[in-house]
Amino acid sequence: MRGPLALPQVNAASFGRALLDPQMATPDGLTGPDGETAPKRFNVYRNNVIVSLCEALGESFPAVKALLGEEYFRALAQAFVTAHPPVSPVLIWYGAGFADFLDAFPPLKAYPYLGDVARLEWSWLQAYHAADAAPLDPAILGSVDPQRLGRVRFVPHPAAHIVTSAWPIWAIARANRFEPDEAEAVDLDEPQSVMITRPDMEVDVYLLRPGGAVFTMDLLQGQTLAAAASRAQEDDDGFSLSDCLSDCLAAGAFSGLQLDD
């Protein structure tokens, strides 16, 4: 029976680097049960670690994986793993920098939307694992004195996220992950921004109206209703305060409100 690897004299940093880089030699001081250097055993262990991390990325970014294909995604994931080792033992949180990595990866320059699709998928994952909280009851907002309504600030729901893009990220994600069996043309000239929430058990993704991204993001960052509406109107003449606010409330983007004195 094969015994475990022994590493009484191995530098931890050196071991970590070698573990994620197939080009590096077995770290000095790493031996098998016979006291001899054990490169084969280490390579098996290294391969298992890299494969696990690549699989974790595939689970977190299935739309990106579908767009690139199994083989290309595996090679890309390995490049990411080598350059960005995990900083947490919890695999569901691995991949926070994947979108930026895609943006900067030269071979993918012809596919500039991939990074934003990854941002959508990462926000979906954050929403899925966010803390539970009851969404704001719209009746509470309705009880506010209309003269003071503009001074309302909303408490963001823990699962609420906004992703803005110059690309049709929701159409791309739907076609490659959420509704792959629904045939739908994707217009790459159509910018899309989405709101992602989880007011209950299921994660929901909403395509935002004109001005909705600026408006909702400002509210989630603590701006007053009046200030957020003003900036959204400046950003897009098609902005509708009533429609966008109704969308936020229906989606459960807030968990409470505060009223400035």
- The pLDDT score that the predictor gives to residue 15 is 53
Cβ neighbours of 230 (radius 10 Å): 17
Domain stop point among 93, 127, 155? 93
pLDDT, tens digit, for every residue of 131-166? 999 999 999 999 999 999 999 999 999 999 999 999
Total domains present in the chain = 2
Does one domain contain both 230 and 174? yes
The string over 9-44, giving b where at least 16 C-beta atoms fall within 10 Å of a residue's C-beta and e elsewhere, is ebeeeebeebbbeeeeebbeebbbeeeebbeebbee
pLDDT category of residue 19 using cuts at 50, 70 and 90: low
Does one domain contain both 33 and 61? yes
| Lookup: tokens for 10 | 């191995």
More confident residue, 215 or 87: 215
pLDDT, tens digit, for every residue of 26-43? 655 555 555 555 455 555
Q: Quote the CA–CA distance of 83 and 105 in Å, as a whole number.
A: 12
Mean pLDDT taken over the chain: 88
Residue 41 belongs to domain spanning:
1-93
Q: Quote the CA–CA distance of 194 and 210 in Å, as a whole number.
A: 11
Does one domain contain both 151 and 257? yes
- The pLDDT score that the predictor gives to residue 75 is 95
pLDDT category of residue 51 using cuts at 50, 70 and 90: confident
pLDDT category of residue 209 using cuts at 50, 70 and 90: very high
* Residue 216 placed within a domain: yes
- The pLDDT score that the predictor gives to residue 62 is 98
- The pLDDT score that the predictor gives to residue 1 is 37
pLDDT category of residue 101 using cuts at 50, 70 and 90: very high
Does one domain contain both 179 and 236? yes
Does one domain contain both 132 and 62? no
Does one domain contain both 252 and 151? yes
Average pLDDT for residues 114-125, to the nearest whole number?
98
Q: Does the pLDDT of residue 45 top 70, yes or no?
A: no
Contact call for residues 172 and 63 (beta carbons, < 8 A)? yes
Q: Concatenated DSSP letters for 233-254?
A: HHH-TT--HHHHHHHHHHHT-E
* pTM for the model: 0.85
More confident residue, 19 or 106: 106
Domain stop point among 61, 93, 125? 93
* Residue 209 placed within a domain: yes
Residue type, 138: P
Query: What is the edge-to-edge ordering of all strands in the sheet holding 161-163?
Result: 161-163, 194-197, 204-207
More confident residue, 90 or 247: 247
Cβ neighbours of 98 (radius 10 Å): 23
Angular region, 220: left φ>0, alpha ψ -120 to 50, beta rest: alpha
Question: CA neighbours within 13 Å on the CB side: how many for 187?
Answer: 4
